[in-house]
Amino acid sequence: MPILVMKFGGTSVATLDRIRRAAKRVGVEVAKGYDVIVIVSAMSGETNKLVGYVNETSPLFDAREYDAVVSSGENVTAGLMALTLQEMDVPARSWQGWQVPVKTTDAHASARIEEIPTDNINAKFGEGMKVAVVAGFQGISPEGRITTLGRGGSDTTAVAFAAAFGAERCDIYTDVDGVYTTDPRVCEKARKLDKIAFEEMLELASLGAKVLQTRSVELAMRYKVKLRVLSSFEEQSDEAGTLVCDEEDIMESNVVAGVAHSRDEAKMTLVSVADRPGIAAAIFGPLAEASVNVDMIIQNISEDGRTDMTFSCPTDQVARAQKAIDGIKESGALNFSHLDIDEAVAKVSIVGIGMRSHAGVASKMFKVLSDEGINIKVITTSEIKVSVLVERKYMELAVQALHDAFELEKA
């Protein structure tokens, strides 16, 4: 039998009624002749509640026990989904990560999947089971301890299962009906895409689009897993949602596929840093050790042996970054005049595989922003994206203007 993977996020299984709705969708796929692997998240709000319990009990918690607690929400959902399917006369069984087993690294709270043996579940399919309901977000370490994959880890679980079992497709059910050209809450002209290339989706996910977790898209691209993003709350057809697939599977694509934004960014500048070999490593090594997620990096032209080094990071990591930089200066490894911090910026990006073969995309972006009176603070580019930092108060205007300029509302 062909295998289909279906993943239901927290809002899709938030109540018993929603679990029943999701189970009916699974039943439809079983009736089409699929053996189905269902990956479930915890019921909406449950993981936050469990994290709160851990923090209240032990602020400096043991990460192994943290994983034991916060992974339990998915176990509840898996059991309820299996029971619901059984009530519908669909042969189903729930599976926790250790029962599969989902083998991971021992990096608790941010483990990575290393292997998913298929023997156990395939044996049950052979015995007549039609649906394996697997608790997402969790696995088992080499030491036999429960691990979790980090927030959004159920998406990664779903793609990893699709790759391991050679699934025909991996359907991700969520509270939106697909991937849009930009956030519909920011731009009312946003259009749902029928298809988007893996590379475009990966860039959009990393730049602020919250439809799919970045790691799940990386896995899908690596193993050529076709992903479909659908709504749990709308009637479905075979053409519903957005298919994330190989570039070759898309007949013709726009130069720019979408506009992404990230509101909570900060710009940090080390003023008058010595311009000599090893300075970048002296700065960004300690930042990495402090788990600061550095994004855009700009070094100014050297003058009299001094330069300015600018980088961006999420606003909630500014304090950590400042502490790391202060530590570098106190150690004598780095000398600079002062540190400028601007926490009132946002990142706006355009993404599209068509940018590889079309000149003038960046200049058009800059002119559009200029015409709107929006000053660009930092620019970075890659083969298929251009990102800028602008004042946060202009973020929505920038997104709307770029969406209009590149005519993304048109198919």
Instruction: State yes or no: 307 annotated in a binding site.
Output: no
pLDDT of res. 151: 81
Q: What is the CA radius of gyration of the chain?
A: 23
Distances (CA, A) of 182 to 62, 271, 387: 39, 35, 14
Are residues 21 and 114 both part of a single domain? yes
Q: Is residue 395 part of a domain?
A: yes
If asked whether residues 160 and 269 sit together in one domain, one would say no
Mean pLDDT in residue range 288-296: 90
Averaged over 83-105, what is the pLDDT?
Answer: 98
Does 387 reside within a domain? yes
Choose among 1, 228, 5: nearest CA to 132. Answer: 5
- For position 367, what pLDDT does the model report? 96
* pTM reported for the whole predicted model: 0.83
189 is a domain residue: no
- DSSP readout, 128-190? T--EEEEETTEEE-TTS-EEE--TTHHHHHHHHHHHHHT-SEEEEEESSSS-BSS-TTT-TT-
Same domain (yes/no): 160, 12:
yes
Residue 294 sits in a domain whose CATH number is 3.30.2130.10
Task: Count other C-beta atoms under 10 Å from residue 350's C-beta.
Answer: 30
**Backbone phi, then psi, for 343, in 5-degree steps?**
-100, 15
Query: Which letter, b or e, does each residue of 308-328 get, where b requires 16 or more Cβ atoms within 10 Å of its Cβ?
Result: bbbbbbbbebbebbbebbeeb
pLDDT beyond 70 at 184: yes
Known binding residue 174? Answer is: yes
pLDDT computed for residue 238 by the predictor:
62
- Across 68-84, b (16+ Cβ under 10 Å) vs e yields bbbbbbbbbbbbbbbeb
The answer to whether position 211 is within a domain reads no
Say which CATH number the domain at 126 has.
3.40.1160.10
Give yes or no: residues 164 and 300 share one domain.
Answer: no
SS3 256: coil
Closest CA to 341 of 355, 356, 321, 368: 321
pLDDT of residue 336: 87
- Annotated ligand binding at 180? The verdict is yes
CA dihedral over 319, 321, 323, 326, signed as positive or negative: negative
Residue 125 placed within a domain:
yes
Both tokens assigned to 131: 């649906």
Residues in the chain: 411
pLDDT of residue 354: 87
pLDDT at 173 over 80: yes
Is the domain of 162 the same as that of 24?
Answer: yes
| Of the candidate ranges 131-140, 194-203, 210-219, the one whose mean pLDDT is the lowest | 210-219
Q: Say which amino acid occupies 3.
A: I
- Known binder of ligand: residue 399? no
Domain shared by 170 and 272, yes or no: no
The residue among 175, 190, 205 that closes a domain is 175
- Of the three residues 175, 192, 219, the one that is the final residue of a domain is 175
Residue 411 has pLDDT above 80, yes or no: no
pLDDT at 239: 67
What Å distances lie between residue 368 and 85, 200, 365, 407, CA to CA? 53, 22, 5, 13
Show the tokens assigned to 44. 């909406």
In the block, residue with structure tokens 């606003």: 315
State which of 175, 210, 240 marks the end of a domain.
175
Residue-number span of the structural domain to which 350 is assigned: 259-405
The answer to whether position 33 is within a domain reads: yes
Structure tokens at 391: 């004042």
The predicted-structure confidence for 220-230, as pLDDT tens digits, reads as follows 999 999 999 99
- For residue range 58-88, list pLDDT tens digits in order: 988 999 999 999 999 999 999 999 999 999 9
Measure the CA angle with vertex 215, ends 49 and 125; round to 5°.
85
Reported as a single tens digit per residue, the pLDDT across 234-266 is 776 666 889 998 888 776 667 899 999 999 999
Question: 147: which residues sit within 8 A by CB, 6+ positions away?
Answer: 67, 97, 104, 105, 106, 107, 108, 109, 111, 138, 139, 140, 141
- Please indicate, yes or no, whether residues 170 and 273 belong to a single structural domain of this protein: no
Residue 187 lies in a domain: no
pLDDT-based confidence at residue 57 (cuts at 50, 70, 90):
very high
Q: Can you tell me which residue has the tokens 């009624």?
A: 17
53 is in an annotated binding site: no
What distance lies between CA 247 and its chain's CA centroid?
A: 20
Claim to verify: residue 161 and residue 289 sit in the same structural domain:
no
Same-domain pairing of 270 and 149: no
Would you say 199 is a known binding-site residue? Answer: no
Q: For the chain, how many structural domains are there in total?
A: 2
Mean pLDDT value across residues 315-322: 93
47 is in an annotated binding site: yes
Average pLDDT, the chain: 92
Confirm or deny that 7 is annotated as ligand binding: yes
Whether 152 and 7 map to the same domain: the answer is: yes
The first and second tokens of residue 248, run together, are 């070759």
**Residues 24 and 164 placed together within one structural domain of the fold:** yes
Position 236 scores a pLDDT of 66
| pLDDT of res. 212 | 84
Give percent above pLDDT 90 in the chain: 75
Dihedral of the alpha carbons of 208, 159, 7, 192, in degrees to the nearest 10: 40
**How far, rounded to the nearest angstrom, does the alpha carbon of residue 187 sit from its chain's CA centroid?**
21
Residue 9: inside a domain: yes
Spatial neighbors of 373 by CB under 8 A, at least 6 apart, are none
Rounded distance, CA 179 to CA 207, Å? 14
9 marked as binding residue: yes
List, in order, residues 6 or more apart from 197 with CB less than 8 Å away.
244, 245, 246, 247, 250, 253, 257, 353
What average pLDDT score do residues 271-280 get? 88
Is 185 annotated in a binding site? The answer is yes
Regarding whether 14 and 141 lie in a shared domain, the answer is yes
Residue written as token pair 């079983």: 30
Angle at 260 between CA 255 and CA 263, to 5 degrees: 155
Strands (E), 246-331: 258-274, 297-299, 306-314
Question: Which residue would you say has higher pLDDT here, 211 or 293?
Answer: 293
